[in-house]
Amino acid sequence: MRLGGARCEHLIRTSERGVLATVHPVRGVDAVPVCFVIDADRVAVPVDRIKPKTGGTLQRVRNLEHDRRAALLCDRWDGDDWSQLWWVRASLELTEGDQEHQVRTELEAALRQKYHHYVDQSFTKLLVFRITRLTGWSASASATEPA
């Protein structure tokens, strides 16, 4: 069943993790798991060095230099009970330049509150997107009810 906007917004806001898809100029879609936070119509994804990385600039950042569009997909999977399946996709567009100090401070605080690993960390960069569309689906009405 198709999910309405308010239900999509609730589910994506309360999701622990997501998959960010960006567009590589040659090979097409690149998808990676990410931490994120949503504030109003913005999605913030940290570009951090907390977890080990290989190389310099992350591919998702390089992809966004070529194409500012992205998507964030969150879902619930239950291999035993498919009636509990749901997914929500946010279509995104990267916002211009660095965010004003107050906005960045608020987004960083929200990330620290949501993910305890970030409590004592500083962020190198935040990718901040504007949500352009939310869509979602669930296998049943009970799939999206709080546990």
Domains in the chain with CATH codes: 5-141 (2.30.110.10)
Cα angle value 76/142/82 (rounded, 5°): 50
**Could you give the CA distance from residue 30 to residue 45 in angstroms, rounded to a whole number?**
15
98-144 pLDDT, tens digit per residue, is 567 888 889 999 999 999 989 988 888 899 999 999 999 999 887 77
Count of other CB atoms within 10 angstroms of residue 94? 18
Q: Considering the entire predicted model, what is its pTM?
A: 0.89
Residue 97 has a pLDDT of: 57
Q: Of 121 and 54, which is predicted with more confidence?
A: 121
Query: Any idea how long the chain is?
Result: 147
Residue 52 has a pLDDT of: 58
26-49 pLDDT, tens digit per residue, is 999 999 999 999 998 899 999 865
**Could you give the CA distance from residue 120 to residue 97 in angstroms, rounded to a whole number?**
25
